Amino acid sequence: MILSLPILWKRFINFISFLFLFSSVLFANPLQDAIERASSGAIIKLQDGVYEGNIVITKPLTILGVGKNVHIKGDGKDSVVKVLSSHVTLQNLMISHSGQNMQKIDAGISLVKVTDFTLKNCRLFDLLYGIDMDSVQNAHIEGNDISVKKNEISLQGNGLKMYYSHFNTIRNNKIHDTRDVTLHYSHHNLFADNRFINNRFATYVELSNANKFENNSYKYNAVGMMFMGAKDTEVTANTIFSSKGAAGIGVMIGGVANFVFKNNRVRYNAKGLYIQGTEKAQGMKRYIQNNEIAYNAEALHFHASIKDNTIVHNRIFGNIDDVVKDTGGNFDVSNVVEYNYWDRYDGFDADKDGIGDTPFEVYQHADLLWQENHKVKFFYGAPIMALLDFLLKLAPFVEPNLIMKDKKPIFR
């Protein structure tokens, strides 16, 4: 049977139309289509189910999960949700399966130059980065569970990355099993009531000012909190417990100014507070007050200089070492240290005013090898080491350095 040219042409057109329709169905993204069709400020309600990710939001709107298992799943490439508009809310969602490109910062949620963003009661998992915030203001990240892919540490992403992002509130989240939570050039942010568990640097703040950390819980991180080049920072009523690994640092403080650390509990760390000072720095004030620093290998570890510290009304007990300094040098007159409780204080309170009659002084002996050699420190609690410690205090081989002096130690 020989078909005429018009019939062949008609069948060819029908075949092309079928291919176009098939391709449209195969590559369609219903959620992205709904976002494109929605008017500005609309609310898109999603029932239980798995929705294709790699969506881009360029207008104010809300995506609300009304079921208990609303899952936006990426295709393993790029970020799962990109937000390029202000006034966007994501709530009651599961977001997972981002790409693995470290340079592109593939994330569960990528925010670029937006204001008034809200993420509430969402679970983020199986991601390279959790949330990437680039030039974001007035965001509210609340009540979320955030983790990332369990890659080796060099290929693992941050749970939260903030860059040039200001006036944001991060509250009541659980951030766990990630690499870091970082703030760079990000000012006036509030972190409150969050739980940081099993991260590397649970909170890393660099060149960021006027941030507040209130009532957060830190457990099983390599470093609980790290502050480098931060000004006007307030760290209040947090618990920093059980930092792990060789360093095991509860709080690392370096190059800060007007740094307030008060009403916190620091326990079970290799180093409770690691304070890095420099001899030439002027006015880099640190206020450490009303804290409990207990059951650490080292309560206060000073690197380089001990100056410009106000250390008052703290309770320091149950530590292997109360004060350690890893370089030479004496206690600087710029320090204010008083009204602290030290369980090692062996003075008296004859007038019963609750304050010791003599100052509490900590000396650094050149022959205390266990302050620098962790292998020797393993035997610190042995009777022979206690005897050596007593003999060195009784008759030191060289003149020791005074590294801490509490003028008015609390007696009980």
pLDDT digits (tens, 9 = 90+) for 332-343: 888 999 999 999
pLDDT band at 21 (very low <50, low <70, confident <90, very high): very low
Pull the structure tokens for residue 208.
């960021």
**Residue from 243, 144, 141, 168 nearest 201 by CA:** 243
What is the per-residue pLDDT for 277? Answer: 77
pLDDT band at 24 (very low <50, low <70, confident <90, very high): very low
What is the per-residue pLDDT for 391? Answer: 63
User: At residue 195, does pLDDT exceed 90?
Assistant: yes
Residue scoring higher pLDDT (223 or 15) = 223
**Residue from 281, 272, 407, 401 nearest 336 by CA:** 407
User: At residue 26, does pLDDT exceed 50?
Assistant: no
Rounded Cα gap, residues 335 and 309, in angstroms:
5
pLDDT, tens digit (0-9, with 9 covering 90-100), for 142-185: 999 999 999 998 899 999 999 999 999 999 999 999 999 999 99
146 DSSP assignment: E
**Residue from 332, 218, 237 nearest 275 by CA:** 332
H or E element that contains 298 = strand 298-303
pTM of the entire structure? 0.87
Rounded Cα gap, residues 298 and 235, in angstroms:
20
pLDDT, tens digit (0-9, with 9 covering 90-100), for 214-241: 999 999 999 999 999 999 999 999 999 9
Strands 70-73 and 94-96: parallel
Q: What is the torsion angle, in degrees rounded to the nearest 10, for the CA atoms of residue 351, residue 353, residue 355 and residue 359?
A: -30
The domain locations on the chain are 41-199, 236-412
**Residue from 375, 383, 338 nearest 359 by CA:** 338
**Residue from 220, 187, 226, 186 nearest 203 by CA:** 226
What is the per-residue pLDDT for 25? Answer: 37
User: Which residue in the block uniquely carries the two structure tokens 């800060």?
Assistant: 256
269 DSSP assignment: -
Hey, what CATH topology would domain 41-199 get? Pectate Lyase C-like (2.160.20)
pLDDT band at 382 (very low <50, low <70, confident <90, very high): low
Q: How far is CA 405 from CA 145, 271, 298, in A?
A: 44, 20, 17
Phi, psi (degrees; rounded to nearest 5) at 378: -60, -30
User: At residue 17, does pLDDT exceed 50?
Assistant: no
Rounded Cα gap, residues 85 and 35, in angstroms:
12
